């Protein structure tokens, strides 16, 4: 059987539209407002948050994309972990999910079944339930989920609440976009395939649950817009800048090597193009490391802003590969400095 | 010199095409690309595999000359 990623041009979150085009169109559409809408589209957050009026907050997101794994069951797992991550990034516990599926009418239905089973098992692992969804015939496969979860007013983590002096923690290695391009090009061995899949399939549940014991000032998950794109939103939203210690950032070594050989996905260049003037790199940061920082992630890590003390304790509790990668500072000329 | 045209292909295809063409023509190769990602990736691949890469912009496309 042909691997699913060979049936499509782009994979996973690398298939997002260029952020510059998206921003231009969305800014031309009038904003809808509602007093109970605590988080809407204007802050580019991970999900919407809707006040239920009794202390609880409902959080919703939808995410779908072309295959990012060759095996349909794996793809379903990754798609579910990726969609659920938006809830964890808002401090919400997943409750219900619905399937969104585009599927070629000429393709074996068994493939669809495996995708749905993979997603179901992952959603079950998250303690939530899938009930229904929608399917349409299309020329290529696309799959994802609309997800709903719940949190409370005092545990609604947005991407804009970072305090000056906060430490920034991430909870997974970066570089899966490049690894996936290597896999697609046939330039990766089995161990790279395994590392990429293991990382993308891992729920951000434990990161969320560990973080619940601390005071989280801001949170997001790192996905298609890359570490730099999502940190830019966190910094802009808080009116601060962020300083990153590149040596502290957990990355897949194979992604550095892949970038050197031109295995960067198109989305990496889109991200870099949009963000270049918002980031200052020290001359010691290699071109390949910069590539990884602009690399679109699928089912990437949580990024958490909290006090230094909490951050250090979080990393101790969570373990590898979580790391404190930088700090929020007073606003500078650029949103992000990488040393 | 062997010339390949990767126009219309998206990453990583132009790099794969370059890699294959260099097997037949290991001393020098001209690669035509039609987008920034392909230009950068083919340039990186050439440099990482020991070539000097010369990039020329021609209208909406670029010509990359890879030479030892």
Q: What integer pLDDT is reported at residue A14 of this predicted model?
A: 67
- B11-53 per-position pLDDT tens digit: 999 999 999 999 999 999 999 999 999 999 999 999 999 999 9
Indicate which CATH number applies to the domain containing B32: 3.30.110.40
B12 and A273: CB-CB below 8 Å? no
Strands (E), A104-215: 129-137, 142-152, 167-170
The catalytic residues of A are 13
> Does the complex come out with an ipTM higher than 0.90?
yes
Provide the pLDDT confidence category of residue A1 given band limits of 50, 70 and 90: low
Q: What is the mean pLDDT of residues A15-25?
A: 80
In chain B the first and final C-alpha atoms are separated, in Å, by 13
Cβ-contact A180, A78 below 8 angstroms: no
Residue of A nearest to B37 (CA): A266
pLDDT tens-digit series, residues A80-117: 999 999 999 999 999 999 999 999 999 999 999 999 99
**What range does the domain containing B20 cover?**
2-67
CATH fold label, A4-155? 60s Ribosomal Protein L30; Chain: A; (3.30.1330)
The yes/no answer on whether domain A167-338 falls in CATH 3.20.20.140 is no
Lowest mean pLDDT among A41-45, A49-53, B51-55: A41-45
Shortest CB distance from A266 goes to which of B11, B42, B44?
A: B11
Half-sphere exposure of B24 (CA within 13 A, CB side): 10
Residue A229, phi-psi category: left (phi > 0), alpha (psi -120 to 50), beta (remainder): alpha
Beta bridge partners of A66: none
**pLDDT in the model for residue A173:** 98
Residues in contact with B38: Cβ distance below 8 Å, sequence separation at least 6, in sequence order: B6, B9, B10, B11, B14, B15
When pLDDT is cut at 50, 70 and 90, the band that residue A121 belongs to is: very high
The count of domains in chain B is 1
Beta bridge partners of A168: A305, A326
Q: Which of B18, B34, B37, B55 to mutate to test the interface with A (most CBs of A within 10 A)?
A: B37
User: Does the structure show a pLDDT above 90 at A146?
Assistant: yes
- Cα(A71)–Cα(A7) distance, integer angstroms: 12
| Residue A57 half-sphere exposure toward CB, CA atoms < 13 A | 22
Give which of B10, B39, B44 to mutate to test A binding, by max A Cβ within 10 Å: B44
| Inter-chain residue contact B44 with A9, CB threshold 8 Å | no
Residue A214: is its pLDDT beyond 80? yes
DSSP A131-148: EEEEEEE-SS-EEEEEEE
pTM flag (> 0.90): yes
Of residues B12, B40, B48, nearest to A184 (C-beta): B12
C-alpha–C-alpha distance, residues A172 and A81, integer Å: 13
Do the Cβ atoms of A273 and B36 come within 8 Å?
yes
Distance CA A90, CA B61 (A): 43
């Amino acid at each position: 059987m042909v691997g699913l990623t060979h049936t499509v041009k782009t994979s996973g979150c690398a298939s997002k539209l260029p952020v510059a085009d998206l921003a231009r169109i969305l800014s031309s559409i009038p904003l809808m407002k509602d007093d109970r809408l605590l988080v809407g589209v204007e802050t580019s957050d991970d999900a919407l948050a809707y006040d239920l009026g009794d202390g609880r907050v409902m959080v919703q997101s939808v995410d779908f994309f072309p295959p990012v794994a060759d095996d349909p069951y794996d793809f379903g797992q990754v798609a579910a972990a990726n969609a659920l991550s938006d809830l964890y990034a808002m401090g919400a516990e997943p409750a219900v999910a619905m399937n969104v599926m585009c599927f070629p009418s000429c393709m074996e239905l068994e493939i669809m079944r495996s995708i749905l089973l993979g997603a179901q098992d992952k959603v079950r692992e998250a303690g939530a339930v899938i009930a229904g969804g929608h399917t349409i015939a299309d020329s290529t496969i696309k799959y994802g989920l609309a997800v709903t979860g719940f949190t409370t007013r005092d545990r609604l983590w947005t991407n804009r609440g970072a305090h000056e002096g906060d430490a920034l923690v991430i909870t997974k290695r970066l570089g899966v976009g490049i690894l996936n391009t290597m896999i697609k090009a046939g330039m990766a061995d089995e161990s790279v395939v395994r590392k990429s899949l293991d990382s993308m399939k891992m729920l951000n549940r434990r990161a969320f649950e560990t973080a619940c014991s601390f005071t989280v000032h801001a949170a997001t998950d790192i996905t298609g817009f890359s570490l730099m794109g999502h940190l830019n939103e966190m910094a802009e939203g808080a009116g601060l800048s962020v300083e990153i210690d590149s040596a502290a950032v957990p990355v897949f070594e194979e992604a550095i090597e892949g970038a050197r050989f031109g295995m960067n996905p198109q989305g990496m260049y889109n991200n870099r193009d949009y963000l270049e003037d918002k980031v200052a790199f020290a001359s010691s940061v290699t071109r390949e490391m910069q590539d990884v920082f602009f690399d679109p992630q699928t089912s990437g890590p949580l990024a958490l802003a909290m006090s230094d003390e909490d951050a250090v304790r979080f990393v101790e509790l969570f373990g590898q590969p979580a790391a404190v990668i930088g700090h929020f500072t007073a606003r500078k000329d650029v949103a992000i400095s990488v040393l | 010199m062997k010339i390949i045209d990767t126009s219309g292909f998206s990453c990583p295809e132009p790099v794969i095409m370059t890699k294959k063409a260099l097997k037949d023509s290991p001393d020098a190769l001209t690669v035509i690309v039609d987008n920034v990602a392909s230009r950068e990736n083919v340039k990186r691949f050439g440099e990482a595999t020991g070539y000097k890469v010369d990039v020329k912009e021609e209208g909406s496309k670029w010509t990359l000359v890879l030479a030892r």
